[in-house]
Amino acid sequence: MGIERIEVYRVSLAYVEPFRIALGTSVKSENVIVRVLTDFGIEGWGEASPSFKITNETPETVINALTKIGPRLIGMCPFKIEQIIEKIDEIIEGNTSAKAAIDMAILDIIGKKARKPISSLLGGYRDEVLTDITIGIKSPKEMAKSAVKYIKKGFKVLKVKVGVNPSEDVERIRRIRKAVGPEIKIRIDANQGWTPKEAIEIIKKIEKYNVELVEQPVKAEDIKGMATVRKNSSIPIMADESVHSPKDALEVIKAEAADVINIKLMKSGGIWKAMKIAAIAEAANIPCMVGCMGESNLGITAAVHFAAAVKNVQYADLDADLLLKDKLVRKGGAKVKGSKRIVPKKNGLGIGAFNENLLGKPVKVFK
């Protein structure tokens, strides 16, 4: 039983509105889709949503990486996933989004062959996943307006992007808390936008607004700075850009720099490595979040399966597909109900059909 053919597609998905975070603004998400076909008639799908600022990848680098990886996977058994991961790590370093797409497609195949949803195969801990919805950076007043709009739609948790201007950031939180009332959870993400000193000052000022988590307050590489912020913070600190791999997780834990770790499949290289990060964090009593980049419902559904499978994945920020106007997945995938993502019960990932116009024709085929 082996992998017979791999197809690579390039897709461009527009956001509903320009999405701004401390690292920059996006109007569309440029992703790469992978289809892996086997000689036993089962195919799997995966998605790479590269971020140059975070994983140093672009659609071009993803396609280049897949051009190196793809031909070497032909003939390999998809059930030997540990061997496949070892092989792709030997072929090329980094390129975690490209690797995540392969990992998802392989797990999709395993699930379909086993006639089980991926979440059931990997742990089956929960059937639905509470997600937040992200409010990109705008004026404090506009952000409070967006917050109210999302609460009316049924969301119970807000992820608020900050990290551009310390005094305006405090005002963002104040306005949003006032607008949504005391019951709604508010977590904030500075995307490395503050110095440790600024972070400590801002956290003191926003304590009274009942903020659940402060994500990546300082530069990714400034683990010491993040540990200092954490020591001086009454709000739990979550590492995102500082943790890509299991090794990074261990470093952040040793430095006592985070209370929570945000895992993203695009940073870890897929679900298989994400499971290892979650296990390392669990051993240190540190819960994890699963977050996302600009994935369509395909990549988000993979992350929903991971979140559902693993007990230690206690938080989810799985909303990228909801912020995109273009819907690549036409049928199936993880639906949203209020603030919850529902885990598909179909075998594998549970993706039914794609919008063929958005998917287009393969740009590369390996066989």
Residue 240 within binding range of Mg ion, rule CB under 5 A: yes
User: Which residue among 112, 159, 185, 264 is the active-site one?
Assistant: 264
CB of residue 163 vs Mg ion: minimum separation in angstroms? 10
Residue (54 or 81) nearer to Mg ion, CB = 54
Long-range contacts of 329-335 (CB under 8 A, 24+ apart): 329/296, 329/297, 329/298, 329/301, 329/353, 329/354, 329/355, 330/354, 330/355, 332/301, 333/297, 333/298, 333/300, 333/301, 334/129, 334/297, 334/300, 334/301, 334/304, 334/305
- Assess 132 for contact with Mg ion (CB under 5 A): no
Q: Which is nearer to Mg ion, 88 or 162 (CB)?
A: 162
Q: How far apart are CA 118 and CA 43, in angstroms?
A: 14
Q: Which of 169, 189 has the CB closer to Mg ion?
A: 189
Q: What are the two backbone dihedrals, phi and then psi, of residue 63, each rounded to the nearest 5 degrees?
A: -65, -40
Number of residues near Mg ion (by CB under 5 A): 3
Contact letters for Mg ion, residues 145-184 (x by CB under 5 A): ----------------------------------------
SS percent in the chain: helix, strand, coil, step 5 = 40, 25, 30
**Closest CB to Mg ion among 73 and 316?**
316
Please, what is the minimum distance in Å from the beta carbon of residue 328 to Mg ion?
Answer: 22
Kindly state whether residue 189 participates in binding Mg ion, applying the rule CB under 5 A: yes
Identify which range of 8-16, 211-219, 277-285, 294-302 contacts Mg ion by CB under 5 A.
Answer: 211-219
Catalytic residue among 161, 267, 273, 340: 161
Q: Which is nearer to Mg ion, 47 or 215 (CB)?
A: 215
Window of 43-51, 210-218, 270-278, 302-310 that interacts with Mg ion by CB under 5 A? 210-218
d(CA 241, CA 259): 14
**Is 311 a residue of the active site?**
no
264 has catalytic annotation: yes
Spacing of C-alpha 103 from chain mean position: 14
What burial class does residue 355 get, using C-beta atoms within 10 Å of its C-beta: 0-12 exposed, 13-18 middle, 19+ buried? middle
Q: Which is nearer to Mg ion, 110 or 239 (CB)?
A: 239
Q: Which of residues 75-114 bind Mg ion (CB under 5 A)?
A: none
Q: How far is the CB of 266 from Mg ion (least distance, A)?
A: 12
Nearest distance from C-beta of residue 120 to Mg ion, angstroms: 29
Q: Which helix (H) or strand (E) holds 153?
A: helix 140-153
Provide the token pair at 321: 């597909």
Taking residues 20 to 39 in sequence order and writing x for each that binds Mg ion by CB under 5 A, - otherwise, the string is: --------------------
Cα 293–299–304 angle (5° rounding)? 100
Report, in Å, the least distance between residue 10 CB and Mg ion: 25
DSSP code at position 357? H
Beta bridge partners of 313: 288
Shortest Å distance, C-beta 35 to Mg ion:
29
- Contact region with Mg ion (CB under 5 A), list: 128-136, 163-171, 185-193, 333-341: 185-193
| Closer to Mg ion by Cβ: residue 106 or 223 | 223
CB of 88 closer than 8 Å to CB of 102: yes
Interaction pattern, residues 215-234, with Mg ion; x per rule: CB under 5 A:
x-------------------
Provide the minimum distance between the beta carbon of 215 and Mg ion in the complex, in angstroms, as a whole number. 5
C-beta of residue 83 within 8 angstroms of C-beta of residue 320: no
* Tokens linked to 307: 């979140």
Q: What does residue 28 show for φ and ψ, rounded to 5 degrees?
A: -145, 160
Closest residue to Mg ion: CB criterion: 240
Which residues of this chain interact with Mg ion, rule CB under 5 A? 189, 215, 240
- Which residues are catalytically annotated? 161, 264
